[in-house]
Amino acid sequence: MSKTENNRLEEFRKDREEANEKILNLDHLGIKRFFNLDNNTYSDGALPAETKELLGLVASTVLRCNDCIDYHLEEAAKAGFSKEELVDALSVALTVGGSIVIPHLRHANETLEILEEEGTLDS
């Protein structure tokens, strides 16, 4: 796969953004407030924003949600974590969550490769 080829991450980003937009357009106050709260969760607080991305990544992995894993891997890569650091975070999720996590580890590793090819993740 060349860098210029479309990849599943690009499609995911586009679909995710459009679908989130549609949800906000439902104009449900509780849902809109949840989305706002969710965005604010990963900003600087007592812990720096980047650490909280790692926490979101591991939480997503043990709860076995591929879309959430992809989102947090990308945000964590943008925040400057190296591949080795992200793999080390995923290893914690594997120990805590067990072998049932392995299919999601395979997915996450493929995402890491795409992020590397794109240049989003330093390799």
Residue 33 touches a second copy, criterion: CB under 8 A: yes
Per the CB < 8 A criterion, the answer to whether 24 and 32 are in contact is yes
Per the CB < 8 A criterion, the answer to whether 120 and 15 are in contact is no
One residue of 87, 116, 117, 118 binding a second copy per CB under 8 A: 87
Task: Please give the torsion angle defined by the CA atoms of residues 1, 76, 13 and 60, in that order, rounded to the nearest 10 degrees.
Answer: 110
Q: At what angle do helices 102-118 and 49-62 cross, to 10 degrees?
A: 140
Residue 103 touches a second copy, criterion: CB under 8 A: yes
Residue 38 touches a second copy, criterion: CB under 8 A: yes
**Binding residues for a second copy, per CB under 8 A?**
16, 19-20, 22-23, 26, 28-31, 33-35, 37-38, 40-42, 45-47, 51-52, 54-56, 58-65, 67-68, 82, 84-85, 87-103, 105-106, 109-110, 113
